[in-house]
Amino acid sequence: MLPTPGAAATPPIGVFDSGVGGLSVLRAVHRLLPGVPLHYVADSGYAPYGERGDDYVIARSRHLTEFFRSAGARVIVIACNTATAAASRDLRERYPDTAFVGVEPGLKPAVGLSHNGQVGVLATGGTLRSEKFRKLLASFEGQARFHLQPCPGLAHAIEQGDLASAALRDLVASHCQPLREAGVDTVVLGCTHYPFVAPLIQQALGPGVRLIDTAEPVARQTVTQFVKMHGALPERPVQPVRAYTSGEVAVLQRIAAQWLDFDVAVQALP
């Protein structure tokens, strides 16, 4: 059943991704805001966003925003690099009474942490092709040499939930090989799916390469926007987390149980 605005004293926060990758962001938000109801959508039935056109991603992002708003959410986290790049401007213009927190590849911390100025970026083709990313990249011109590595098929493979599969390990290795050959010492995880295979990425790149994940900064920005929108944070017990999927409920249930350290009630997206 879709929660109604009056169902809880504290308004919920919506978090969405094209699939299960955004659970990495949900996990970080839950750690900082345990007293706020969280509603997550894995739009797995329409994934992967990174291999779709902008109009498609914008349409799905609007649909999910309407879903969250009908539940009373006025702070929504776009826990998907591709959706942030394609749809964040449209959503902010279309829903001016709603605060949107997007994600983008962490180029700034990567530049600051790199010792040799060779920075790799693992991301979907959609993210790397986007105007938003290109503008971000241009803002760091001359500060480092960026090696952009599209990872076709990787988000989809992670979506299957078997992080120990040989096929997934081989796919990660193939995408990381060009970065290893380029001598990068810092690599940005430019898709929210990728933190869940960070150990495989680290193994493929070697122990001397630092990985950059932006889930924690996104969570802190979510706190800031929630306080701006609703005032002080609630002093309440831990609130339940609800998750919805446009794919298979059993798949999201299994992955959430494996990847998260808190309970999540999963059901089909209406």
> Is 208 part of any known ligand binding site?
no
Alpha carbon distance, N-terminus to C-terminus of the chain: 8
> Is 116 part of any known ligand binding site?
no
> Is 95 part of any known ligand binding site?
no
> Is 50 part of any known ligand binding site?
yes
> Is 224 part of any known ligand binding site?
no
CA angle, 244 then 98 then 191, to 5°: 55
Task: Give yes or no: 80 in active site.
Answer: yes
Q: Which of 191, 205, 209, 243 is catalytic?
A: 191
> Is 193 part of any known ligand binding site?
yes
Q: Which of 77, 80, 176, 212 is catalytic?
A: 80
> Is 35 part of any known ligand binding site?
no
What does the alpha-carbon distance between residue 64 and residue 66 come to, in Å, rounded to a whole number? 5
Task: Give yes or no: 191 in active site.
Answer: yes
> Is 17 part of any known ligand binding site?
yes
Binding residues for substrate: 17-18, 49-50, 81-82, 192-193
Binding residues: 17-18, 49-50, 81-82, 192-193
Which residues are identified as catalytic? 80, 191
